[in-house]
Structure 1
Amino acid sequence: MRLLSVAASVLSVASLAAGVAWEATPFNPSAIPLAVRSPFLSSCNVLRLGQGSNGNGVPLNGGWPSFWTGQTMAWTGLAYIDGKAYTWMGVPSVSGSNFSQATQKSVNITSTQSIFVLSAGGVDITATFLSPVEPTDLVKQSFPFSYLSVSAASNDGGSHSVSVYVDISGEWLSGSNIWTATWQTTQGAINTHQVQLKSQAEFEEISDVSQYGSIYWSTQKTSGTTIQTGQDIVVRGQFLNHGTLANTFNNNFREISNSWPVFAHAHNLGTVSSKSKPASALFTIGHVRDPAIEYIVQGNTLQDRSLYFWTEYPTVSAGITAFYADFEAATQRANAFDAKVEADANKISPDYAGIVALSIRQVFGAIEITTSKNAFGGYNKNDILVFMKEISSDGNVNTADVMMPAWPLFLYTNPTLGKYMLDVNFRYQATGLYPNKWSAHDIGANYPKATGHNDGLDEAQPVEECGNMLYMALSYAQKTGDNSDLKTYESLLDQWTQYLIEDSLIPANQISTDDFAGSLANQTNLAIKGIVGIGAMAEIHKLLGNTKQSANYTNIVKSYVPQFLNFATSKTGPHLTLAYNQDDTWGLTYNLFGDKLMKLNIFNESLYEMQTAWYASHFNQYGVPLDTRHTYTKSDWQLWTASWVTNTTVRDQFITAVKNFVSDGKFGEPFSDWYDTISGQQSGFQARPVVGGHLALLVLDE
């Protein structure tokens, strides 16, 4: 049943009238990540339009958790306290059952965790959603599972009998509820509901949800554990009326929307009091498919690639067992990671720390770490490639101009992950199957099919993508001292530089990464991308000992810079133009970030000072527009720009503008990077990995 209960509706109206009734740290965002571990395991608690138009959020039990697309992924949390029933997650409506809603007291969001505290019947229920970020452990990071820990503690000094319940629905399986689901339940030290579609379609999606693989929903078995599958109102009603489940299994496989099958676990936590430690139950949820990626390789053949965790776990069950055993250590690692990120970001500002915390899981939720099999069926542990989904915009695989804005996150957390991502693109283009002389836009039109563009008809962003690949290749080598890719793919990098030499000083009519703004000739910011790209190749040749080539490219850059400044500097105002000879135009010249990142010193500091002064007088409430054609902007480009402006007040204005947008309640989706600077309304895009660009200030600060 998908209708909100009367109590939920009343609460939503009340929250609108009274404002957010709970403490939110660092702030109350448009969407709160719950289980975000892969492109196909991406659930969040969202603030929907119409429920928060005045900046008011909805609590964990004020709406259904959903996929990043907005599709409901019903996840229900109930509690039975001293014989009375309460809801603490989701909005179930079960006729014939009397229950109340727990009251949300607080939510705390870190880089890896979302922690909700709700009060009911003299008890505080703490629901901790931990999506581990393990950038240096490829097995752990590639295991697409997330934790939910639920604990109960007395808040009134009394003793209380507490049981907790959590279920998921078949809606987690597909982008369409017309498909038939099947399931099986395994009981043992860990009880697991495994749910999948009856008809699997390998490498296919519907509305961005995978059409193959299985959901695994598990909990540890204790003396107080009960379990049940069946129709939502039946299973939930059982717990709401009795505080326990019936240990029965309805195996009437059917369409997801046919009597809404749900898969439930319940724990009797016993008696909690002010003198006892909080009692808790641990749950895990994951989505596994194998093979995970279809990838084009030498000889124009397609290779099946699997998630890297298979190199250590022979079965999913073994992985789940290890994941459970690792929970305490995983929590300690998460706390340490969160503390480091917060400390580093707080050196800039508390607002910035909040933006970064909200961004990190979103990026890691867009990538998958993979390996291949050898001729004998074993896994090649040393053949590691990282694939990124261009979530929300095109759904492409390893889009170079999505990898580039996300790049600061990888430089900050583990640059080697970035290398494995670049290698996907390098390997394909080194096969010679891609016919264009510039870098490919992406390695596949529809994730998870990384099947290339042998016809050369991918979206053409020639200067953009050549510059991006050079930026990433050099900055990785500078960060790590690993020049292996520079050596292996020197000819490709040089080929792309030759294109930049032809088309960067005076860029032809083309699109940039901001393709939604349309094509334009003589784009100033695109020229910066190209010129800095040539400078990057000069440094690459220097690192490789190619002194003559390095000097040649350095001289080309030196000759281009004064010509560029003559073309691009407005004759009527102290700023760079959007396009040459359009004196009354301007835009965010965010590509100057590359000059600072790679320490190339191509442009004089006076240029940065001029641009800083211009932006200081052109802020709207939610930031500086992307350019003079529109009033919208991009959050990643604002913070790229904030990383190099020469005035900390202007830097902080950019940061605060982004924070205000994501926390003011005018839209209700996972972090969007494209929105209007005047109205604060989302222009498009959400949940994209480009928010990794928000870490630009951390990278330059290092």
Structure 2
Amino acid sequence: MGLTKFISLTTLALTTSAVSWNAAPFNLASVPLAVRSPYLSVWLPQSAGTALNGAWPQFWTGSTLGWAGYIRVDGATYTFLGDPVVAGAETAIQKSLEFTSTQSIFVMTAGPVDINVNFLSPVEPTDLLKQSTPFSYLALSAVSNDGNAEWVSGDDSLTVMLENQELYTEYRDHIQQGAAAYYSTPNSFSLTYQTGQDTVVRAQFINNGVLANTEDTNSRAVSDNWPVFAFAHDLGTVSTTATVPVIYTVGHVRDPTIQYIVANDVYQPRSVYFWSAYSSVTDLISDFVGDYSTALGRAKAFDQKVQSDASAISSNYAAVVALSVRQAFGALELTLSKNSDGSWNTDDILMFLKEISSDGNVNTVNVIMPAWPILLYTNPTLGKCPLLGLLEYQTTGQYPNAWAIHDLGSSYPNAAGHNAGNDEAMPLEECGNVLIMALSYTQKSDDISLITQYTDLLNQWTGYIVAEALIPANQISTDDFAEALANQTNLAIKGVIGIQAMSVISGILGDTDDQHNYSSIVQHYVPQILYYATSSDGLHPTLNYGNESSLLGTDVFPESIYDMPYGVLLDTRHTYTKSDWELWTAATVMTNTTTRDMFIDSVYKYTADGESNQPLGDWYETLDGTVHGFRARPVVGGHLALVSAANNALH
């Protein structure tokens, strides 16, 4: 038995060692701890063997988030979370790590007591209020086993509570607006708290087992004596039955959330959807804390559904999907506007997506598209929310180009549009993407409002494709890092699929003339594209028209380059690939299980190889699994392409 007390505090150093714990389904490169929004995105850089108490948690960029936890058992204090250097504390031993779609669960041994440490980031796609809540849980329970950037800013020189707020402004991807961190726990007779210098607060608990119930009111820079915020709970006597969990929550709130360009170059401030039900953050936190047990029940049901559906394909696929869910939803924010009388307009719901780690753009069309399967799978009606903002802006006429826009703004959270038309030009790519998503949304949601309201725009973009897709000009595709290329087979194919999508849309709307016209164009284009893009032996499509060097059996690339240990090349100009592309491709060959599993297993090998310590990157090297710079991007929603194709929706 042990007399046990917990302290958990927010407040540098990565240690690696061989994995000495059980990991299920595998040992992650970086463990999601609290991943709920672009600005609440906390990870443990775990690599091949860093325990929960062997490194500081990090923001997705790799900057430090000082989150430390101690447990005091029979007079001895152990560190179980974070990597603080302070005298008098021993190190708890990690026994296991398990992750699901919504939870990361650690078991740590602190002398005679085992601690269950559960990081729960709820995913609630069918409840907009709960899904929009930018908070996450840390739950701690105990059982006897013997019978650099910090939270508040990306700039350590700034005063802790961000006295000088900067609306819609980031510093190293940290927002410089709002109360950057809300840290809370239920009040009880055994609760103590303390704010102050990190070493002082930690020493207080290590030496005394309680905190001093004092507040440090000296507002100062993050790096000036490292101010921390701490809570401690006394659990009393711990037996062989696990204690009732001690709940902590962490969150980030800012208001307004997004500025969005509407007609006449006016900027509309938008707020996170939860404000429609709460008048204060205090009320929100109170409900969120009180909802833990039922939230955990919902999370377990969600996890089980995803696990069951994905396991029907393969266990390796289920593991990759479980890793992908929080990351995909963690880039999304659901917002609403106000009516003229100041009330919330709950009929005006827009979803904004940050293109994390690549460009930081707002609602990038060719990022929404690869992430699309997770929306279709979890709740198809969500698909309307990111498309509406794009379509409505272009309906105002402020975007001057004839094709679909690439993104809603170059720097999140500024959905400022591109009135000068100088967004990154991907004309065929984005026109095809929007048409495909518009049809997909309509079919899966049984809602024709999107295609009814924006028929003229969709026809305009279809006209662009008709004029340009047969012989594509020198354009970039979604993988802009691969550079532009004329006559890309991929763009020609996407174009004709887009035209066919508009044919089906026209049919749904009862416009049989356009339906038949677009369909006949597709029938005319397809054989020509096949002629231009098929190799001389008639067996393979080429990367671009007439490019025999993009095939096996040429002198340019040896055949061995197509048998890479980490997957199939994205295209023959390079030896890298993308995980979302691999699993989208796997979904197109569902009935060929050998080919399907080849794609799945290569992505699984990459995610589980222990060669990285950063949040999952979708762009990597097929030769050795080296990550090519992307991390924590929402495109991993595309990993759910196979369950989306098989199941389409969670109910």
Shorter chain as denominator, the TM-score bin is over 0.9
CA distance in 1: counterparts of 2:12 and 2:132, whole angstroms: 36
Q: Contact 2:52–2:80 at 8 Å: present in 1 too? A: yes
In 2: Cα distance, 1:673 partner to 1:277 partner: 39
Aligned to 1:137: 127
Deviations 1:447-487 (A, max 9, x none): 00001000000000000000010011000101011111100
- Structure 2 residue matching 1:43: 3-state secondary structure: strand
> Does structure 1 conserve the Cα–Cα contact (< 8 Å) formed by 2:11 and 2:67?
no
- The aligned amino acid for 2:405 is A
The correspondence of residues 116-135 of structure 1 with structure 2, limited to 5 A, is 116-135=106-125
Counterpart selection for 2:575 from 591, 606, 631: 631
2:225 matched residue in structure 1: 259
Aligned to 1:90: 82
- Identify the residue that residue 177 of structure 1 maps to in structure 2: 156
Report the 3-state secondary structure (helix = DSSP H, G, I; strand = E; otherwise coil) of the residue aligned with 1:247.
coil
Q: CA deviation at 1:229?
A: 0.3
Q: Which amino acid aligns with 1:627?
A: D
- Specify the alignment match of 1:146 in structure 2: 136
SS of structure 2 residue aligned to 1:171: coil
- How far 1:616 sits from its partner (Å)? 12
Which of 620, 624, 627 aligns to 1:675? It is 620
SS state at 2:104 partner? strand
RMSD between aligned alpha carbons?
1.7
Report deviation, 1:341: 0.2
- Residue 49 of structure 2: aligned partner: 57
Contact 1:636 1:690 in 2 (8 A): yes
Q: How far apart are the structure 2 equivalents of 1:171 and 1:700?
A: 41
Deviation at 1:665, TM superposition (A): 1.4
Q: Of 462, 474, 477, which residue of structure 1 is paired with 2:439? A: 474
How far does the alpha carbon of each residue in 1:5-34 deviate from its partner, in whole angstroms, 9 at most, with x for none?
Answer: xxx85xx3xx2xxx3111111111211100
Q: How does 1:149-160 map to 2 (within 5 A)?
A: 149-157=139-147
Q: How many residues align?
A: 631
Structure 2 Cα separation of the partners of residues 528 and 317 of structure 1: 52
- Is 2:106 the partner of 1:101? no
Q: Distance in 2 between matches of 1:399 and 1:468?
A: 11
| Separation in 2, partners of 1:505, 1:260 | 61
Residue 155 of structure 1: CA displacement? 1.2
1:354 matched residue in structure 2: 319
Aligned-partner SS, 2:298: helix
Change (3 A) 1:93 1:541: same
1:380 match: 345
2:102 maps to 1:79: no
SS class of match (1:554): helix
Alignment check: 8 A CA contact 1:570 1:584 kept: no
- 1:33 aligns to what? 32
Q: Does 1:620 align with 2:564?
A: yes
- Of 569, 573, 588 in structure 2, the residue corresponding to residue 644 of structure 1 is 588
Partners of 2:361 and 2:410 within 8 A in 1 = yes
Distance 1:506 1:270 in 2: 74
Shift of 1:586: 4.9
Q: How does 1:187-198 map to 2 (within 5 A)?
A: 196-198=161-163
Question: Equivalent residue for 1:295?
Answer: 260
SS at match of 1:668: coil
Q: Is the aligned partner of 1:693 residue 2:638?
A: yes
Deviation of 1:572 after TM superposition, in Å, equals 4.2
Contact between 1:616 and 1:650, CA under 8 Å: does it hold in 2? no
**CA–CA distance in structure 2, aligned partners of residues 418 and 120 of structure 1:** 46
1:249 corresponds to: 215
Provide the C-alpha distance between the structure 1 equivalents of 2:436 and 2:146, rounded to a whole number of angstroms: 58
Matches within 5 A, 1:349-498: 349-498=314-463
Q: 1:523 aligns with which of 459, 467, 488?
A: 488
* Equivalent residue in structure 2 for 1:660, among 580, 593, 605: 605
CA drift of 1:237 comes to: 1.1
Identity of aligned residues (%): 55
In structure 2, distance between residues paired with 1:479 and 1:564: 30
Q: Please give the secondary structure, in 1, of the residue aligned with 2:70.
A: strand
The aligned residue for residue 578 of structure 1 is: 543
Q: Distance in 2 between matches of 1:484 and 1:261?
A: 51
Point out 4+ residue stretches in structure 1 off by more than 4 angstroms: 1-4, 614-617
Secondary structure of 1:685's aligned partner: coil
Q: Which amino acid aligns with 1:20?
A: V
Cα shift readout 1:261-287 (whole Å, capped 9, x = no counterpart): 00001101111112x342421001110
Q: Give 1:418 shift.
A: 1.4
1:615–1:624 contact (8 Å) kept in structure 2: no
Shift of 1:323: 0.6
SS at match of 2:628: strand
Distance 2:201 2:561 in 1: 59
Contact 1:586 1:627 in 2 (8 A): no
Q: Distance in 1 between matches of 2:495 and 2:74?
A: 67
Letter in 2 for 1:258: D
Partner of 1:591: none
Change (3 A) 1:648 1:246: same
Secondary structure of the residue aligned to 1:384 is strand
SS, match of residue 254 in structure 1: coil
**1:69–1:677: structure 2 CA closer, same or farther, 3 Å change rule?**
same
Flag the 1:225–1:115 CA change in 2: closer, same or farther, 3 A: same
What corresponds to 1:21 in structure 2? 20
Distance 1:681 1:116 in 2: 27
Distance 2:522 2:536 in 1: 23
1:193 alignment counterpart: none
Query: What one-letter code is carried by the residue in structure 1 that aligns with 2:99?
Result: I
Q: CA-to-partner distance for each residue in 1:191-240, whole Å, 9 max, x for gaps?
A: xxxxx311110000001100011111000111111100000001011111
Measure how far apart 1:666 and its partner are: 1.3
| Unaligned residue ranges in structure 1 (runs of 5+) | 158-168, 182-195, 588-613
Query: Does the alignment pair 1:217 with 2:186?
Result: no
Retained in 2: the 8 A contact 1:640–1:697? yes
Q: Is the 8 A contact 1:666 1:681 kept in 2?
A: yes
1:397·1:446 contact (CA, 8 Å) conserved in 2?
yes
Shift of 1:143: 1.0
- For residues 25 and 563 of structure 2, the distance between their equivalents in structure 1, rounded to whole angstroms, comes to 24
- Whole-Å separation in 2 of the counterparts to 1:382 and 1:615: 56
Q: Which amino acid aligns with 1:179?
A: L
What is the CA–CA distance in structure 1 between the aligned matches of 2:498 and 2:129, rounded to whole Å?
Answer: 34
Contact 2:117 2:138 in 1 (8 A): yes
1:69 aligns with 2:61: yes
Provide TM-score, normalisation by structure 2: 0.95
Instruction: Tell me the alpha carbon deviations over residues 82-126 of structure 1, each in whole angstroms, 9 at most, x when there is no partner.
Output: 1001011100001xx222111111111111111111111111111
Residues 627 and 204 of structure 1, relative CA distance in 2, 3 Å threshold: same
Q: How far off its partner does 1:573 sit? A: 6.7
SS state at 2:562 partner: coil
SS in 1 for 2:64: coil
